[in-house]
Amino acid sequence: MPKALVNEIELFYDIYGTGEPLLLIAGFDSDSSSWSVLMPFLVKHYQVIRFDNRGVGQSSAPKSLYSIQQMSVDTIALLDYLEISQVHVAGHSMGGQIAQELTLAQPEKVKSLILLSSWAKGDSKFHAIIELFGDLPSKLDAVLYQTSLLPWLFSDRFYATPGVIEQIINQIRKYPFLPKPHALYHQSRAILNSDTSKRLASIYAPTLVMVGQQDIITPIKFSEHLAQGIPNAELVMLEQVGHACFIESPEIVAQKMLKFLTKH
């Protein structure tokens, strides 16, 4: 499988579909596989590029400190490696932080920006949650840790769907690339040290902000802040879905994304 050597680490990536390039940036503890249920809807219209951030999946997991800006530099280096000069960018959660930094650093590369379940600056409760998410991996078995995150990610409706959570837990048990505790700690601290709130007005790319109404990690107020701070941003709130909105309702999320992308 393809890997790019960038910034002294290896980044795993894959590319599917044809058309204008669309880059997907995953969130905390997530790798490129997290986009799998959304991919069939996107590859019909775009050349979709997925990759594993440093610390997860099949990418390198250095033991030094991480930062969101550093991960945005990784992402820019990957685009340069792939000789992609302009791209639509979609980031989920921490991936939305990375996408914001990428857009601020090299605005000429970003044709449009989609921020899913993301934020500019967290509050005290959010910081407590993320700190806990970073500390727990060294205390728990890897599969138990991943399972413990599920109630934070999904809505009441999703949990009530027969067999769905059990299927996800079985996938976790079989997955060969679960991240190491040190990498999750470093990703969590990168999140805690990131803040774009005073720079949002400098994001001029057409922007879609999307959030689930049952998101208990990054509540609606975070997305409202993004949409108010980014010039001419659109805000879409999705009913009955949680933080992992594109896993719960991939068809609806894809429809919203594609409608936005076709305008830009």
* Residue 143 confidence class, pLDDT cut points 50, 70, 90: very high
CA 155 to chain centre: 18
The percentage of the chain sitting over the pLDDT mark of 90, rounded to a whole number, equals: 99
Question: How does the average pLDDT of the chain come out, rounded?
Answer: 97
218, pLDDT greater than 80: yes
Query: pTM of this prediction?
Result: 0.98
Structure tokens that stand for 121 in this block: 């600056």
Q: Is the pLDDT of residue 170 over 80?
A: yes
Work out the pLDDT band at 4, boundaries 50, 70, 90. very high
| 210-236 burial code (b ≥16 CB/10 A, e <16) | bbbebbebbbeebbebbbebbeebbbb
Whether residue 255 is predicted with pLDDT greater than 70 in this model: the reply is yes
The pLDDT value given to residue 251: 98
Q: Are strands 207-212 and 110-116 parallel, antiparallel or unpaired?
A: parallel
CA–CA dist 213, 132 (Å, integer): 23
Phi, psi of 123 (to 5 degrees): -100, -175
pLDDT digits (tens, 9 = 90+) for 79-120: 999 999 999 999 999 999 999 999 999 999 999 999 999 999
15-47 pLDDT, tens digit each: 999 999 999 999 999 999 999 999 999 999 999
Residue ranges and CATH numbers for the domains of the chain are 3-262 (3.40.50.1820)
